[in-house]
């Protein structure tokens, strides 16, 4: 199996998650750029390879995801640990603020919890993702310092995002801040905190959003085309979810008073998920195992007519303490529920994790790059949760993808103009 020399090898080998932590760690050598087919990728600032891009491998979730231990800690649900990571408590509920709840992709919990921590716990802000004002179908990292700023950027962004590239804003804050990101983003923050003590002191809470994969910008442009937008430069707003649960994909075009929409099933199910970056097909963590708090959709219940609900996992003592403080303050309306609702809400993830094991075994046999995982079991899910047909699909299908996705060829990382 090929070993990367630096983060540029990771990107060329199509193992990059696009988190941006390398640009934070080596800002003189690496910048993040939007590459149409692949997503946010590290681009070199120097004509030669520098040491910073190599040292950033220590924090790269594209090449490794490792728990310190696989054994359940005190207070954890032991039965959940192997497949779902550390879980101290499972809740279901929503933001008490109805405006935040409606704007969120499910129940608005990540936004409401962040607002509570800023307004009542003295945190500086929340580092997260929002749409670029000049190109609304692209994303940028920003530090929101108020409820209003958080609300303006509420809702999932099913498009490339690299929130870790602006961890410098967290590090420079007068008090700790919240970090909100995808599971791989939070894993990168976890590793970066070990390298940067000041960052570690300034991260007040990490919130991960359950993730089924990041589509490329090409996916968004195809979605807009299906909506009837032939010229993306005319759009003034793009939303992927929100305004109800699960919400519609919406876009506004200059000069039009009415938004164009697609259902969640049409936008994600028919279009966006087909454009997920290759590294997402090898992901062992869809539920934010390295976060203090993780939030996702309680898909076990019907969504019709519901203004929005979130499934919330307290993964650390810090996360549990701050969730309980937000409940006591009236910022969150959450009810503790049984641990069985986690697998019921994400019924396909055990099979998906088993399929990842089959894919990685096949790629390694072909001499191709794969991420290293430690204490994220997958072989058991392969044996116990996949049918013979699904096992064959994960291996033979990977052989086909090696050819179809040109996995032996380095990615052509030309940034969008």
Average pLDDT (265-272) is 96
Residues 6+ apart with CB under 8 A from 243: 102, 103, 250
* Residue entry with tokens 């990842």: 356
What pLDDT was estimated at residue 155?
87
Smallest CA-to-CA distance from 116 within 336, 337, 290, 333 is with 333
Q: How confident is the model at residue 121 (pLDDT cuts 50, 70, 90)?
A: very high
pLDDT at residue 61 tops 70:
yes
- Provide the total of helices (H) and of strands (E) in the chain, helices listed first: 18, 15
Strand residue runs (E) in 36-167 = 39-44, 64-66, 89-95, 126-131, 139-144
- Four-residue CA torsion sign, 373, 62, 314, 158: negative
Average pLDDT, the chain: 95
pLDDT digit string, tens, across residues 303-334: 877 889 999 999 999 999 999 999 999 999 99
pLDDT digit string, tens, across residues 93-112: 999 999 999 998 899 999 99
What pLDDT was estimated at residue 48?
86
Predicted TM-score (pTM) of the model is 0.96
Cis peptide before 154 (omega within 30 of 0): no
Q: In whole angstroms, what is the distance from residue 155 CA to residue 177 CA?
A: 19
What pLDDT was estimated at residue 1?
57
What pLDDT was estimated at residue 282?
97
What pLDDT was estimated at residue 52?
95
Asked if 15 and 38 count as a contact pair (C-beta separation under 8 A), the reply is no
Average pLDDT (34-39) is 95
| Burial letters 220-247, b for 16+ CB under 10 A, else e | bbbbbeebebeebeebeebbbbbbbbbb
């Amino acid at each position: 199996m090929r070993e990367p020399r630096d983060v540029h090898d990771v990107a060329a080998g199509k193992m990059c998650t696009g988190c941006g932590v390398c640009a934070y760690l080596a800002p003189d050598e690496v910048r993040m750029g939007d590459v149409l087919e692949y997503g946010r990728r590290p681009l070199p600032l120097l004509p030669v390879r520098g040491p910073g891009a190599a040292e950033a491998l220590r924090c790269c979730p594209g090449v490794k995801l490792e728990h310190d231990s696989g054994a359940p800690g005190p207070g954890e649900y032991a039965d959940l640990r192997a497949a779902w990571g550390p879980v101290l408590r499972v809740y279901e509920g929503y933001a008490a603020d109805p405006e935040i709840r409606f704007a969120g992709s499910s129940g608005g919990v990540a936004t409401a919890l962040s607002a509570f921590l800023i307004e009542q716990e003295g945190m500086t802000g929340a580092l997260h993702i929002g749409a670029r004002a000049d190109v609304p179908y692209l994303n940028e990292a920003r530090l929101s310092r108020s409820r209003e700023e958080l609300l303006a950027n509420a809702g999932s962004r099913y498009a490339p995002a690299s929130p870790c590239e602006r961890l410098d804003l967290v590090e420079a804050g007068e008090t700790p801040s919240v970090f909100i990101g995808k599971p791989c983003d939070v894993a990168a923050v976890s590793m970066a905190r070990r390298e940067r003590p000041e960052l570690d002191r300034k991260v007040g809470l990490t919130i991960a959003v359950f993730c089924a994969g990041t589509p490329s910008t090409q996916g968004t442009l195809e979605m807009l085309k299906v909506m009837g937008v032939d010229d993306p430069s005319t759009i003034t707003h793009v939303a992927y979810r929100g305004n109800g649960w699960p919400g519609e994909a919406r876009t506004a075009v200059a000069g039009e008073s009415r938004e164009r929409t697609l259902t969640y099933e049409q936008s994600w199910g028919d279009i966006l998920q087909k454009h997920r970056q290759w590294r997402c097909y090898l992901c062992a963590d869809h539920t934010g195992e390295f976060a203090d708090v993780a939030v996702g959709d309680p898909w076990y219940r019907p969504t019709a007519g519901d203004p929005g609900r979130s499934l919330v996992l307290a993964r650390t003592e810090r996360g549990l303490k701050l969730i309980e403080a937000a409940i006591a303050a009236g910022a969150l309306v959450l009810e503790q529920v049984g641990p069985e609702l986690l697998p019921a809400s994400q019924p396909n993830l055990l099979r998906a994790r088993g399929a990842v094991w089959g894919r990685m075994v096949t790629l390694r046999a072909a001499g191709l790059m794969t991420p290293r995982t430690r204490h994220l079991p997958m072989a058991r899910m392969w044996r116990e949760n996949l049918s013979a047909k699904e096992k064959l699909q994960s291996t033979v299908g990977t052989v086909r993808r090696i050819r179809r996705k040109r996995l032996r060829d380095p990615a052509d990382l030309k940034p969008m103009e």
